[in-house]
Amino acid sequence: MRTAIVAVLPRLRRFCAAMAGSAADGDDLMQATVERALLRSGQFEPGTRLDSWMFRIAQNLHIDGARAAKRRGTAVDVEVLHSLAGSDGRELVESRSDLAAAQRALQALPEDQRAVFAMVVIEGRSYRDAAEALDLPIGTVMSRLARARGKIAETLAGRQDAQKEAGR
């Protein structure tokens, strides 16, 4: 049986390289295939094709390896990790905090200013569309929007000043 396996090796190597996508990975797959074939040689049915049996072993090992790699994710060398940029936890928390502060500032606006702000800034409607939808003169929409933006900016600027004073 070992001599027959050796005779199949050149074709098995090409098959494994094609399956794995590179010669080096193909060689690893081929080695695992030969190991499995030798360990389970008792399972080989005499009278069937040895090369087909080994190709099936290689294919199953490749599929199993691909599934395992998918579960594990991408392997990264530890030395490379230092050069990778990741999310800054503090920055992430602060941006979430800023968003929450902006939402609180919006909610603190008087209802009429909040409605105009929502129509123009959040919904992206034109001043004219907002004026028609809210049944207001366009000048009123513009002045309410200006006051709403000013109040939100003032609230957020005060928050930033407080953060600086707190030593952030």
Model pLDDT for residues 119-136, shown as the tens digit of each residue? 898 888 899 999 998 999
Q: How confident is the model at residue 81 (pLDDT cuts 50, 70, 90)?
A: low
Contact yes or no for 156/105 (Cβ under 8 A): yes
Mean pLDDT for the stretch of residues 43-72:
89
What pTM, to 2 d.p., does this model score?
Answer: 0.46
Q: How confident is the model at residue 167 (pLDDT cuts 50, 70, 90)?
A: low
**34-37 long-range Cβ contacts below 8 angstroms, 24+ apart:** 34/5, 34/9, 36/61, 37/5
pLDDT at 94: 63
pLDDT at 85: 64
